Amino acid sequence: MSRPSRAAFNAHPLIRRLSGEVVWLLLEERGVPDAEIQAFMERWETPTFSSLRALERLLAPGAQGGLRILIRGAGNTAACPRCAALDGLIVPAGHPSLVALCPPYAVNCPARAEFLEPGDPTLERALAPHDPGPASPHGELLCPQPPPGVDWPAT
């Protein structure tokens, strides 16, 4: 799997604040064994990189298409109410809230972004340019829904 560009990492409201080491230390401080942290990191990296690659494509000059926020099929973590409310939301390229609405929203967030090609008929349901859309769930470092077996405080 190719790594998203540094520009995509730096644009994302959560990922620009994190590194793998930071996430590892957060979980380690909660007493999670190293083997479980490694397994978590491997599960989290795939949807996170997928979302960043979608964002990268949509931030390119002249980009078209959009992103769809998906919760379904995001693993064994239940979505918090803030993220669940965004399931299926479509944000077009160039929308003012594109970056703010791009998942993941916290460590262990089950939301991910799917790139929609220009001409995809579902883009007809995308947010209008003047509609800011729902409030972004970004802001908390840890998802209020911890992964199974991990004890971290609700945010």
What strand order describes the sheet that includes 112-116? Answer: 90-92, 66-70, 112-116
Strand locations in 6-144 (E): 66-70, 90-92, 112-116
Domain ranges in the chain?
A: 6-125
**Angstrom distance (rounded) from CA 87 to CA 105:** 13
Name the more confident of 40 and 78.
40
* pLDDT above 70: percentage of residues in the chain: 88
- pTM, two decimal places: 0.83
Check residue 81 and give its pLDDT: 84
Instruction: Tell which residue, 100, 89, 78, has the closest CA to residue 12.
Output: 100
DSSP codes of every residue in 64-88: --EEEEE-TTS-SPPPPHHHHTTTT
- Cα distances from 24 to residues 9, 37, 38, 44, 79, in angstroms, run 18, 7, 8, 12, 21
In the predicted structure, residue 144 carries a pLDDT above the cut 80 = no
* pLDDT, tens digit, 9 for 90 and up, residues 23-66: 888 888 888 889 988 988 888 888 889 999 999 999 999 999 99
Instruction: Tell which residue, 114, 35, 101, 38, has the closest CA to residue 74.
Output: 114
C-alpha Rg value of the chain to the nearest Å = 15
